[in-house]
A = this chain, B = another copy of it.
Amino acid sequence: MDELNTTAEKIRTMEIRGAGRIAVAASAALRDYAMSLRALPMDEFNIRVEEAARTLVDTRPTAVSLPNAVALTKRHTATNVPDAIEEISGNAERFIKNAGEALGKIGRIGAERIRDGDVIMTHCNSHAALSIIKTAFDQGKDISVIATESRPRRQGFITIRELNDHGIPTTLIVDSAVRLTMKKVDLVVVGADSISVNGALINKVGTSQLALAAQEARRNVIVAAETYKFSPRTLLGEMVEIEDRSSDEVIDPQVLKRLPNVKVSNPAFDVTPAEYIDLIITEVGAFPPAMAFTVIKDYLGLELAL
């Protein structure tokens, strides 16, 4: 339990961060913990595994990859501990392998949607979205990228550096210039924080503005998302809570202190409705957003009473 607690702590303190890394670490920790329980009777084993699963999930209650990884890892149909451990180990290997290969597969599937000459707008800094763009570029397609600054944390600066280093011609714009610039864009490609059962996308604040401007200008919007980003809980009606982050990211706290009538709203994410999204690229294929329920059912296979 010590090692599992260590992993849980690292996830809580964000020493381990990023949806993919969190999921992989949790799956491995649960596997290792289950393997350490070989001597227990079956009932006890199941109780402990369930407790460990809960410990891991509780570290970041709003992350969606974490409960997916844990649920996919822990489930078994065995009636004795060695068999259960074998199943859980197998689950963990499969999950970790799939997660490791997902970015590459998303890149290859998504790159098929990029045509020679395309100008692609992206927002914030998404590994999966950039995987698509880089793969298309590596295939020799003559593409360029328009990247938003992505205030307040300016992850757009990471994006333009990554694209610059990859040799891809890139233009930086402020977030306010999205609609004006959309007429030069052929395609919008963004990542996902999570995807709900009705195909809505939860992602970095501003994503829904790109999607809205793309919809208005009749440009396609592609979302790059590993299957473990799909949220089974929304099947039960649960809604996404939008985290409100510190005002310090937006304005110097010393300045704000002198403005008693002013406060700051700094939402981390926004919600893009399914009708503004054309295709979701996952490692198992390209889906219209209305298929989110099927992805959750077929590829996560989780029970409702999660």
- Look across to chain B and name the residue whose beta carbon is closest to the beta carbon of A286: B237
Q: Range of interface residues on chain A?
A: 35 or more
Give Cα A133 to B218, complex, Å.
26
The SS class assigned to the A binding surface is mixed
| CB contact list, A289-305 vs B, under 8 A | 290-294, 304
* Inter-chain contacts of A111 with B (CB < 8 A): 237
Give Cα A132 to B205, complex, Å.
30
**Proximity string of chain A (166-210) to chain B, C-beta cutoff 8 Å, 1 when within and 0 when not:** 011111111111111101000000000000011100001110110
The winner among A168, A178, A181 for most chain B CB atoms within 10 A is A178
User: Within the complex, what minimum Cβ distance (angstroms) separates A284 from chain B?
Assistant: 7
- Which of A28-36, A60-68, A146-154 contacts the other chain? A146-154
User: Within the complex, what minimum Cβ distance (angstroms) separates A252 from chain B?
Assistant: 10
User: Within the complex, what minimum Cβ distance (angstroms) separates A65 from chain B?
Assistant: 21
> Given A160-B262, A237-B109, do A288 and B209 touch, yes or no (CB 8 Å)?
no
> Given A113-B237, A113-B239, A265-B171, do A288 and B198 touch, yes or no (CB 8 Å)?
yes
In the complex, which of the residues B157, B169, B270, B285 contacts A235, with contact meaning CB atoms closer than 8 Å?
A: B285
Question: Are A181 and B304 in contact, CB atoms less than 8 angstroms apart?
Answer: no
A42 lies within 8 A of chain B by Cβ: no
One complex includes copies of this chain to the number of: 6
In the complex, which of the residues B237, B262, B267 contacts A163, with contact meaning CB atoms closer than 8 Å?
A: B262
A38 lies within 8 A of chain B by Cβ: no
**Proximity string of chain A (251-273) to chain B, C-beta cutoff 8 Å, 1 when within and 0 when not:** 10001000111111111001100
In the complex, which of the residues B267, B275, B286 contacts A198, with contact meaning CB atoms closer than 8 Å?
A: B286
- Look across to chain B and name the residue whose beta carbon is closest to the beta carbon of A197: B286
A94 lies within 8 A of chain B by Cβ: no
> Given A164-B262, A171-B263, do A285 and B270 touch, yes or no (CB 8 Å)?
no
**Proximity string of chain A (223-255) to chain B, C-beta cutoff 8 Å, 1 when within and 0 when not:** 000000000001111110010000100110001
Question: Are B173 and A265 in contact, CB atoms less than 8 angstroms apart?
Answer: yes
* Inter-chain contacts of A161 with B (CB < 8 A): 259
In the complex, which of the residues B213, B290, B291 contacts A209, with contact meaning CB atoms closer than 8 Å?
A: B213
Task: Given contacts A157-B255, A163-B262, A180-B208, list 7 more A-B pairs with CB under 8 A.
Answer: A109-B236, A112-B236, A115-B239, A172-B251, A172-B264, A177-B270, A181-B265
Q: What are 17 A-to-B residue pairs whose CB atoms are below 8 Å?
A: A111-B237, A148-B176, A151-B175, A157-B255, A160-B259, A170-B261, A172-B265, A174-B205, A175-B175, A176-B204, A177-B206, A179-B208, A179-B270, A180-B205, A180-B267, A237-B281, A290-B291
Lowest 3 CB-CB distances: which A-B pairs, in order?
A: A176-B206, A112-B237, A290-B290
Interface residues of chain A, those whose CB is within 8 Å of chain B, are 108-113, 115, 146, 148-152, 157, 160-161, 163-164, 167-181, 183, 197-199, 204-206, 208-209, 212-213, 216-218, 234-239, 242, 247, 250-251, 255, 259-267, 270-271, 274-275, 278-279, 281, 284-288, 290-294, 304
